[in-house]
Structures are given as C-alpha cells and as structure tokens.
Copies of this chain bind each other. A is one copy, B any other.
Amino acid sequence: MNPSGLEALIEALRCLPGIGPKSAQRMAYHLLQRDRGGARKLGDAILHALQAVRHCQRCNTFTESDLCERCASPRRDSSLLCVVETPVDMNMMEQTQSYQGLYYVLMGRLSPLDGIGPRELGLDRVLARALDGLVTEVILATNYTNEGEATAHYLTAMLRPKGVRVSRIARGVPVGGELEYVDSGTLAQALRERKPFSEG
C-alpha cells in the first residue's frame, strides 16, 4: 500500500529496540510529515556515529579515539578495576564521586536466553585486562538482577583462580533493580560497603 521508500523506512525503524510495526509506521509518518529536518539530522547522526564511534581498547566503552578520556587520564587509580554492564552504569558510578579507579564496560550481561554467553560478551578480555600487573582488585558492579548476578558469579569463578582479588558492591542497590535508576547516595554507600564475593 505504501510507496517502497516509505515501506523500507518502516521496516528499518523496527531494528530499534521495543519498536513494533505500528510504532514504526507512526514514527515514519511523523518523520516524513512533521519533522523532515529532524529526520535528516537523525539519518546523518546514525551514519556519522557508525563511522566515528568505536570501543576504547582498554575499557571497551564507546569512544572516538583509541583510548577513552578516563583510561587516558594519569589521575585515575590503575590498581582498581570496576566492571559494569553499560556506559550508563559507568556514568552513574562516576556521579557518586566515590571512585577514582578504572573501568571495564561489558556492554551487556550474560543472558543465555538471548544467546549471549561468555564468548559473545568477550569475558576473556576482562581476564586479560585484570591481569595487566597493575590491577589489585576487581570490583563487580553489574546489576543485582538475575543476569547481572550470574555475570558476577561467572567473572568471580574466572578471576579468583588467577589470584585476582574480587569484590562486589554492597547490596544497597535494591534487589532486582538496575544501577541506572538508583540515586547517587545509595550507590556511594553500596560502593563503600563492598565485600568479598561469596558463591552463595
């Protein structure tokens, strides 16, 4: 029914997370009818980001150079390595102003149902990063969801045998909650009260 360029746009919009056929259609109509300026900016921004944005070679977060600003900074404590799921979680940790160490950003979590295992998540790169000779403690700050917990367990089982000290932020983060939605005070508390990772 729709012209082919419009159909292609509707189909392409469905690659966005949580967008079904009805939403995609509404979005396409909105872009073409009400906001062609915004649409052009969006198209350009996507193609530019694809070309410019890549991963920090050290911490795996998004960056436009080889190393992100944080990893390149001489002021960070390179003996501490905090493992988080996403760049948002890293920003949340920074906002607590309670942490001066470095990060590793998993860009996800173990999620077997979605086909994301240790290999897909590149967990061997976390191990290599933790064994750089400078890191003395790995702080696991994955979410306290089932997947985040499973990821923390897996990382501990991988790091401990190599003699790496592993800790977990305190369960001040609400059980079942996600770091992204927690206030800075709670998160700072959870960071201060981190404890050795227990298998139970």
Tell whether, in the assembled complex, residue B50 and residue A12 are in contact, meaning their CB atoms are under 8 Å apart: no
B64–A3 touching, CB < 8 Å = yes
Q: Which residues of B contact A50 (CB under 8 A)?
A: 32, 36, 39-40, 43
Contact B107 A49 (CB under 8 A): no
Q: Are A5 and B48 in contact (CB under 8 A)?
A: yes
Q: Does A15 contact B (CB under 8 A)?
A: yes
Segment 1-52 of A: residues with Cβ below 8 Å from B: 1-6, 8-9, 11-13, 15-18, 22-23, 25-33, 35-36, 38-52
Contact check, B3 vs A62: say whether CB atoms are below 8 A apart: yes
CB–CB B49/A2 < 8 A: no
Task: Give chain B residues whose Cβ lies under 8 Å from the Cβ of A43.
Answer: 42-44, 46-47, 50
Look across to chain B and name the residue whose beta carbon is closest to the beta carbon of A27: B16
Contacts of A39 in B (CB 8 A): 15, 46, 49-50
CA distance A40 to B62 in the complex (A): 18
A64 touches B13 (CB 8 A): no
Contacting residues, chain B, for A49 (C-beta < 8 A): 5-6, 8-9, 28, 31-32, 39
Given contacts A6-B49, A31-B46, A62-B2, contact A41 B12 (CB under 8 A): yes
Using a CB-CB cutoff of 8 Å, which residues 92-115 of chain A contact chain B? 94, 107-108
**Can you pick out 15 interface pairs between chain A and chain B where the beta carbons lie within 8 Å of each other?**
A3-B53, A5-B53, A8-B45, A9-B45, A9-B49, A11-B45, A12-B46, A15-B31, A15-B35, A16-B27, A17-B26, A25-B88, A39-B46, A40-B46, A43-B43
10 interchain residue pairs of minimum CB distance: A15-B38, A43-B46, A12-B45, A5-B52, A43-B47, A12-B42, A9-B49, A3-B64, A5-B49, A9-B45
Given A12-B46, A15-B35, A31-B46; 18 other pairs, CB 8 A cutoff: A3-B63, A6-B62, A8-B49, A9-B45, A9-B49, A13-B45, A15-B38, A15-B39, A16-B42, A17-B26, A22-B180, A25-B88, A29-B88, A31-B49, A32-B62, A39-B50, A42-B46, A47-B47
